[in-house]
Amino acid sequence: MLPQRHHPPHPSTFARVGVLVYGLLIIYASLYPFSGWHDNGIAPWAFLSAPLPYYWTGFDVVTNIVGYIPLGMLAVLALYPRVRGVAALLIATAGCVLMSGAMEGLQTFLPSRVSSNLDFYTNSGGGLIGALIGWRLS
């Protein structure tokens, strides 16, 4: 009987390309129509201290959560095998939080978009859920 060779796990090209492509899709969806950029005198991070929006729908909340789940999951899988476990979970979640914050902040400069702390929280929550799924799969 030949001894079995142990091969170290290989990084997933699919996950690495997937997280990049999915991140670009989020940028596109968050900043479309890309026109009318201007400074309206509001700090890009002002949405963080604003009260929760009065008008919102369950559809918006679910869409924001579900929209960021793949990003969190792909981020954890893209980090594997170099970064694993809780470190991968934390890095992927932080990346999703930063991505969501950046998108909401940039929406401040678009007249057709509204920055929302509820969107930020639900996007971040979706990223965390996705990172937890990716963590369990890795």
Kindly report, residue by residue over 48-96, the tens digit of the pLDDT: 999 999 999 999 999 999 999 999 999 999 999 999 999 999 999 999 9
pTM for the whole structure: 0.91
Domain annotation covers residue 93: yes
Range of the domain at 83: 58-138
Specify whether the CB–CB gap between 128 and 72 falls below 8 A: yes
Domain annotation covers residue 24: no
Domain annotation covers residue 15: no
Specify the number of domains making up the chain. 1
